[in-house]
Structure 1
Amino acid sequence: MTVTPSVPDAFWRSASIFNLFRVFVALGLLGINLAIEGTIFGSSEAGNQLNILIGSYLLAIAGYGLLLRRRWPAFHILLTVQVGADIAVIVLVMQLVGGFNAGVGMMLLPYLAAAGLVSRGHTTLFHAALASIALLLQQAYFYFSQDTSSGLFPAAMLSIACFATAWLAHRLAEYATASEQLAEQRGADLANMAQINRLVIQDVSDGVLVLDDTGVIRQFNQQAERLLGSGMQAGRTGLADCNPMLAQSLERWRQGDHSTVKLEVEATRRLVRPRFMPIRSGGGLSGIVVFLEDIERLQSEAQQIKLAALGRLTANIAHEIRNPLGAIGHAAQLLAEEVDSPTGRRLTQIIADNTSRLDRMVREVLELNRRDRAQPVQIRLHDWLISFLDEFRQVERIDMLIVLECPLGAVVRFDEGQLHQVLWNLCRNAWRHGRKDDGSLRLVVAAEAERWVLEVRDDGPGVPPELVSQLFEPFFTTEAKGTGLGLYIAREICAGNDSVLEYIQAPYGACFRISFKAQV
């Protein structure tokens, strides 16, 4: 099956404009004929015939308009029919006004040129050939029927002019088509480049502002909006209106002061460090790109790098300590069996207790690397927490009531073994610091911002405000026998499961919250 290639909409629009051109020409001829009343166009009979011809031509133009609206038949067929009718009308007008002497034949040239541009040069020479044949036939008719003295030279010259006009229109159409294709390609390239720029700007970790030469913000990314606050509008908001301190820093940079400064944004309380990059076009400054570095994020990344290095170091040290530590503990047990004096038994017990404490610390240090081996699964919290609390009460020998509030439909993704470890640590701490009554330990699950949160609450004294910022730091503890790694490891495990562990200020007691990953 043969598929007819589709014609671009621009071709049909050009043909419609060409049809309007015909309307103006026909109305012009009609107006001239009515105004001169046959004094130039010959007799009044010829003038009446010309009116009939023009009226018929206008009806044909109206029919062309309907066909163009319906886009039927094929474009080049319809255009050829139109141009053929145009040639026939002009030749008949020449016949009525006396041939080449009236100069009406020159009207063929703009028609041929317009048809060549509309068709993009595809059928231009064919239209010129039709016009030449019509002219030669019309001149031959005059030669044999009316004026034997009239030669074929004027017809030949006008035919040559038709071909010259058609060839020129053909060349212009080729240039126009090439320019149109180039413009479309450049437009597509620019659109792709603009989209790539938007994606790159949105993906960078720094805030980005693009300013024009007057200081108006033309483009910004989401990070810049988080750092500077909402309310910016591209193309409308000036940098001075958005952040006067940043505008002053830009002005100092323009004056040659390229020193690095840190600014605190009043709206968001974020500390940023701006960097300015000029945009040059045509040898002059056409804009400025402002990069905003989040100092808190940089400090956090540096802290994570240090902690990662510390974790690898401590893990290696722990492996080296574990074997001799085990030998010391075993030797202390053997020694305790042979010692009879109370002092010796007390000393061996001290060795055993401290060996056990060091072994527990080594195990917790080795747990630092477990966050990267998480295997999250779907966990139905209601049934899982009931089973967990039964085990916790038996192992920790708790006879009091532990309150559980959890909807039946709560489902989260978490490594089951790691969730068990985290909750055991939080619940044991809560029970140790609480009043140890019924309801002293509460586990509450609720939906919040399209995710599930689990809170472990107690009724103890809570955490002193001055110590809250140090809760999750490694090796920080308020107990003489503690290692200070429990909460730090719990937070790292939660982070490895795309969750967040944080301490929440409560009216009484302590409250630790796990915010699970949102379910998609």
Structure 2
Amino acid sequence: MNSDEPSLQSDSWNAEGWRRPPDAYWRSLQLFNGYRTAAALVLLMAVAFWGDTLQFGSRDMRLFMIGAASYAAFALAMFAIIHTREHFTWQLAIQVGGDIGFVVLLMYASGGLSSGLGLLLLTSLAAAGLVSRGQLTLFFAAIATIAVLLEHTYEILRFSEGGAQYAQVGLLSIAYFATAWLAHTLARRSLASEQLAAQREIDLANMAQVNQLVIQDMEHGVIVVDGEGIVRQVNTAAERMIGGLRGGGVVALKDRAPALHARVEQWLRDQQGRETPDAFDLGANLRARLVPVAPRRGAGAVIFLEDLARIKAEARQLKLAALGRLTANIAHEIRNPLGAISHAAELLQEEPEVSAGAQRLTTIIRDNTRRLDRMVNNVQTLNRGERAKRERFLLAPYLRAFVEQFVATEKLAANVIELHLETDPHVMFDRDHLNQVLWNLCQNALRHSHRGPGSIRLLVGRAGRGNAVRLEVVDDGPGLPPESRSKVFEPFFTTSPGGTGLGLYLAREICEANGAMLEYVESPGGARFAVTCAAG
């Protein structure tokens, strides 16, 4: 540690590389110098108005007046030096040295120790210890003691006075050291408290920053409002749920979410918490929970917003995942006996003496085993979760080849499926996966359509700002009933007597694996399903 300047972690550095004390040190030094100026002026006025009744200047009035005036001028000059904000410790040492020199001079001019002016140094030593945070305080006390002893010794040698007052000088010196030690101790404790407070301030700032990061990353929305309904803090999730809460300046909750503000205001007024609940619903898909920021409610509240739609979707995904594991295990267990039943039915049909009724029954057995086999295949495909091998290809020739293959397999007329291309884009998709999705959608459309010319239409166009491709499959059937539209992508939900209920669910999972989206689009007439994928 450099002895010329205070060493503090919060200090800055000047051009010469020395530590620069903080502003609080310089303000304390200015106050100390203000006391010095006031003391010098008071001594001058005391002599001017009550000089005859006081001991001040009793030995040499002219010397006392010169000394007091010089002391005041010295104090005023120090204000200008303090303003430079350079070399704090040297400035403090010069000021305290000036106090000791001028006070001892005034003591001599006033008759020595009996004038009582030596007590002024007690205040100077105490102030110096507090201003310097305990540095050099005992050194200043030693200098003051030596100066007073020398002044008294000079009086004895020059004026042949007795040495009886040495005891008083000794007591005054003890008072100097006691005051200096007390100031040193108090300053050290004060410095330790300041450092602890500064560290606590840093810790609180770090904690506030961590809390801010945690709040911003929370899935639930968080809004902090004060007792006046002003938004103090909001995270990204809350902004997404409500919007407009991060506008510039003061944002009032009532201007952005009047319904929520009404409930919060009612909750804040209910100090006992007997009339208003802490949690309530806001519409169909939003739930709010209120927590007070202080022991009393009126100080403000933290509002936690829960997206019920997301919670329901997560619960649904967990349920579907558990259901998928269960059905996969069941499918694996029933595959072997299912194969045996199908094989036995085929053998019965080959018997020469099987009656027509038996033939009809074996046909029912064969058809239903095939249906169960398709269901098992779908379940196992879903459970495997094969990764998509996306590639870039032109969509138009791919769709033409698909239409030819589909109409040939289903033995349809060539004009049953119409292809409408607004553009000829490249897409990024797994070819086999896209074939599976389109086959499923076209089979569903064929099942509900009139099977006439143009009963199924494949529409291709741009989506969004042109960076996505939209492929729609539209039929001319009756469409989906309104009560079935929200369940159409759930597993095992079907409106067809022979369906497995896994086709559309599996198609949507395949689309999501390819970074695409499959959705049902409400439209007049038949059903319309849209696949939106990335353009290549």
Fold conserved between structures, TM > 0.5: yes
- 1:84 corresponds to: 97
Of 12, 15, 27 in structure 2, the residue corresponding to residue 17 of structure 1 is 27
| Percentage of identical aligned residues | 40
> How far did 1:197 drift?
4.9
In structure 2, the CA distance between the partners of 1:349 and 1:303, relative to structure 1 (3 Å rule), is same
- 1:144 corresponds to: 157
> How far did 1:81 drift?
4.8
Contact 1:435–1:460 (CA under 8 A) maintained in structure 2 = no
- 1:62 corresponds to: 80
Any idea what the Cα deviations from partners look like across 1:71-121, whole Å, max 9, x if unmatched? 44xx55554455334433443444455543443332322222222223322
- 1:242 corresponds to: 260
- Matches of 2:311 and 2:502 in 1, distance apart? 24
> How far did 1:162 drift?
1.5
In structure 2, the CA distance between the partners of 1:7 and 1:322, relative to structure 1 (3 Å rule), is closer
1:111-510 equivalence runs, <5 A: 111-146=124-159, 148-149=161-162, 151-195=165-209, 197-198=211-212, 206=220, 231=245, 237=253, 242-245=260-263, 254=272, 256=274, 263-265=281-283, 269-270=284-285, 272=287, 281=295, 294-332=307-345, 352-371=366-385, 374=387, 379=390, 381=392, 383=393, 385=395, 388-389=398-399, 392-393=402-403, 395-396=405-406, 401=419, 403=421, 405=423, 418=433, 421-422=436-437, 425-426=440-441, 440-447=457-464, 453-461=468-476, 463-464=479-480, 466=482, 467-495=484-512, 500-505=517-522, 510=528
Q: Which secondary structure does the structure 2 equivalent of 1:306 belong to?
A: helix
The letter of the residue matching 2:158 is S
Structure 1 portions without partners, runs of 5+: none
Deviates more, 1:169-178 or 1:245-254: 245-254
Any idea what the Cα deviations from partners look like across 1:113-138, whole Å, max 9, x if unmatched? 22222332233222222222222223
- 2:14 corresponds to: none
Contact 2:460–2:470 (CA under 8 A) maintained in structure 1 = yes
Contact 2:489–2:504 (CA under 8 A) maintained in structure 1 = yes
- Matches of 1:210 and 1:341 in 2, distance apart? 80
Deviates more, 1:255-264 or 1:140-149: 255-264
> How far did 1:62 drift?
2.5
Query: Alpha carbon RMSD of aligned pairs, Å?
Result: 4.9
> How far did 1:163 drift?
1.0
Q: Which secondary structure does the structure 1 equivalent of 2:370 belong to?
A: helix
Contact 2:487–2:493 (CA under 8 A) maintained in structure 1 = yes
Contact 1:455–1:511 (CA under 8 A) maintained in structure 2 = no
Whether 1:8 aligns to 2:10 is: yes
Deviates more, 1:44-53 or 1:102-111: 44-53
Deviates more, 1:485-494 or 1:392-401: 392-401
1:40-51 equivalence runs, <5 A: 40-41=56-57, 42-44=60-62, 46-48=64-66, 50-51=68-69
Q: Which secondary structure does the structure 1 equivalent of 2:133 belong to?
A: coil
The letter of the residue matching 2:147 is A
Contact 2:224–2:303 (CA under 8 A) maintained in structure 1 = yes
- Matches of 1:32 and 1:248 in 2, distance apart? 63
Q: Which secondary structure does the structure 1 equivalent of 2:142 belong to?
A: helix
- Matches of 1:145 and 1:476 in 2, distance apart? 120
User: How many residues are treated as equivalent by the alignment?
Assistant: 498
In structure 2, the CA distance between the partners of 1:342 and 1:2, relative to structure 1 (3 Å rule), is farther
Any idea what the Cα deviations from partners look like across 1:257-310, whole Å, max 9, x if unmatched? 698986443xxx5353x666677759x997766655555444444433333332
- 2:530 corresponds to: 512
Structure 2 portions without partners, runs of 5+: 12-19, 409-413
The letter of the residue matching 1:361 is M
> How far did 1:52 drift?
4.3
